Amino acid sequence: MVDYGDGSVVTYGSIPFAAGQTVWSVLEQVEKERGLPVASDDYGEMGVLVNGIGGVKNDVGAGRFWHYWVNQRFAEVSASRFSLQPGDQVLWKYTDKGFMAEMK
């Protein structure tokens, strides 16, 4: 699910993935299979930073960034460092509140 922070929420239903795939690899899969544009930078050992989803880019001036939650828990590591397990649910949200953002 992608929450653009403006009331627009897009769900992608069930997306099959293998245990151990990362949040990042699943987002890449959605990009390829469902046409969701994703912008990112790879910081090597630190991981991948998602800069934009669906044409909405991080806005440093406004303090709005893309964050993600897995099973309604705020993730504190790069999406490329978070391994998923069967049944996990991922929410990407564009917000200025980070882990304080309200879950839906």
In a domain, 102, yes or no: no
pTM of the model: 0.88
As for how many domains the chain has, the answer is 1
Of 66, 73, 67, 65, which is closest to residue 89 (Cα–Cα)? 73
In a domain, 69, yes or no: yes
Assess if residue 51 is contained within a domain: yes
The reply to whether 104 falls in a domain is no
| 103 found inside a domain | no
Would you say residue 14 lies in a domain?
A: yes
**By residue range, what is the domain housing residue 29?**
2-97
At 104, list the tokens. Answer: 């839906």
Note whether residue 88 is domain-resident: yes
Beta bridge mates, 10: 2
Q: For the domain that residue 72 is a member of, what is the CATH number?
A: 2.170.130.30
Which pLDDT belongs to residue 80?
96
Task: Establish if 89 belongs to a structural domain.
Answer: yes
| φ, ψ (nearest 5 deg) of residue 35 | 75, 25
Per-10-residue mean pLDDT for the chain, 104 residues long? 92 86 95 95 94 96 94 94 93 82 54
What is the pLDDT, as a whole number, of residue 102? 55
